């Protein structure tokens, strides 16, 4: 039974990976300034280039794996690449101007108002959000934006400035954190399983979207970074059975969900991972202490995801006299996720 349970996540992951790979090779998706999604079907040349790049990454990673014994201090070499990665992104920020729009603009302005101490005036006097609603209605409908602005506000206080470049530079740090976390996760997995730990690192280094989008002043990049860091710590906790790694993971995932609610998908995956680890024997039979520790970690994770965000949101909702029951219902997000949207319709047409 335990062997079957172990294989189910792998089977699901492989099927989903194949679907995602096919869609990414066959279709190219973009987004316009007003956040409308454009889907185009790739021609044969584009598809061939994508396949060749994928093959090149696999070949290079295999070569590095075979020749890795030549490099004595691998961590030092990896650190040099991370520094170069950071410098290139900083240069990109200095030479690429992006005008804030939509949620980027409103969360940034809200964070700046928090820092300057005039949040009540800003919310009361801003009436052109998306051109048709007030900031009051916007925050009542999407209170999760408050926690993101709160994090930006902390950054602004640390650097004593509300310059938008602070968020962009923080994105650079977060991208580096994503790369380092991927490297650490691959190293940790390779201790127990036969895997090419260099391939994951090469993939994340060559994944251009997060590099280019460091100028995107929203919570996606930090959410990914702290989710990956939380994943690394929970793997260390399971392998080493040290509670401090579970605490670090909970704190990382809490921050990830504060800046981007979509990070909950990582939390769900980690909860499934902990559950499967708890019910399977592994190398040695789980003791009662091990099971209780897993349960405590799960309870702590869920509590930390709910409590800090709830406190912050309720504080500002009360301070601004906003309706706490006016948020967009969770069922609405579920409906948006399962309905046939513009992307699906365009794909069917193509």
Is residue 29 classed as helix, strand or coil in its secondary structure? strand
What is the DSSP annotation of 56-74?
HHHHHHHHHHHHGGG-S-H
pLDDT of residue 281: 56
Question: What rounded mean pLDDT belongs to the chain?
Answer: 79
Task: State how far the Cα of 253 lies from the Cα of 326, in Å rounded to an integer.
Answer: 26
28's CB contacts (< 8 A; 6+ apart) are 39, 40, 41, 42, 46
Q: Model confidence at 311, in pLDDT bands (50, 70, 90)?
A: confident
Q: Looking at the predicted structure, is the pLDDT value of residue 91 above 80?
A: yes
Q: Looking at the predicted structure, is the pLDDT value of residue 344 above 60?
A: no
Is residue 34 classed as helix, strand or coil in its secondary structure? coil
Give φ, ψ of 29 to 5 degrees: -115, 135
Q: Could you tell me if 26 and 334 are in contact, meaning their C-beta atoms sit under 8 angstroms apart?
A: no
Rounded mean pLDDT, 240-250: 86
Q: Could you tell me if 25 and 42 are in contact, meaning their C-beta atoms sit under 8 angstroms apart?
A: yes
Q: Could you tell me if 282 and 248 are in contact, meaning their C-beta atoms sit under 8 angstroms apart?
A: no
pLDDT of residue 345: 44
Q: Looking at the predicted structure, is the pLDDT value of residue 289 above 60?
A: yes
Q: Model confidence at 16, in pLDDT bands (50, 70, 90)?
A: confident
């Amino acid at each position: 039974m335990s062997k079957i349970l172990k294989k189910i996540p792998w089977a699901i992951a492989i099927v989903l990976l194949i679907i995602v790979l096919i869609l990414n090779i066959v279709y190219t998706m973009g987004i316009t300034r007003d956040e409308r999604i454009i889907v185009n079907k790739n021609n044969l040349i584009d598809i061939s280039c994508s396949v060749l790049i994928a093959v090149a990454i696999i070949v290079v990673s295999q070569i590095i794996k075979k020749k890795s014994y030549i490099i004595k201090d691998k961590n030092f070499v990896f650190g040099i690449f991370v520094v170069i990665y950071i410098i290139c992104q900083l240069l990109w920020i200095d030479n690429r101007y992006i005008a804030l729009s939509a949620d980027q603009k409103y969360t940034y302005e809200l964070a700046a108002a928090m820092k300057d101490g005039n949040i009540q005036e800003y919310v009361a006097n801003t009436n052109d959000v998306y051109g048709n609603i007030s900031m009051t209605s916007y925050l009542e409908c999407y209170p999760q934006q408050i926690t993101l602005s709160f994090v930006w506000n902390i950054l602004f206080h640390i650097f004593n400035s509300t310059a938008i470049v602070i968020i962009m530079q923080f994105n650079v740090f977060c991208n580096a954190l994503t790369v380092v976390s991927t490297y650490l996760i691959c190293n940790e997995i390779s201790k127990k399983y036969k895997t090419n730990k260099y391939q994951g690192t090469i993939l994340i280094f060559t994944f251009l979207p997060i590099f280019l989008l460091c100028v995107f002043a929203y919570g996606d990049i930090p959410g990914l970074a702290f989710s990956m860091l939380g994943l690394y710590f929970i793997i260390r906790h399971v392998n080493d059975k040290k509670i401090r790694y579970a605490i670090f993971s909970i704190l990382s995932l809490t921050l990830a969900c504060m800046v981007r609610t979509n990070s909950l998908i990582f939390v769900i995956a980690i909860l499934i991972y902990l559950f499967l680890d708890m019910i399977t024997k592994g190398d040695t039979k789980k003791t009662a202490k091990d099971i209780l520790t897993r349960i405590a970690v799960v309870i702590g994770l869920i509590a930390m995801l709910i409590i800090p965000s709830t406190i912050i949101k309720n504080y500002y909702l009360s301070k601004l006299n906003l309706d706490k029951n006016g948020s967009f219902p969770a069922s609405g997000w579920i409906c948006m996720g399962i309905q046939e949207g513009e992307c699906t319709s365009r794909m069917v047409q193509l």
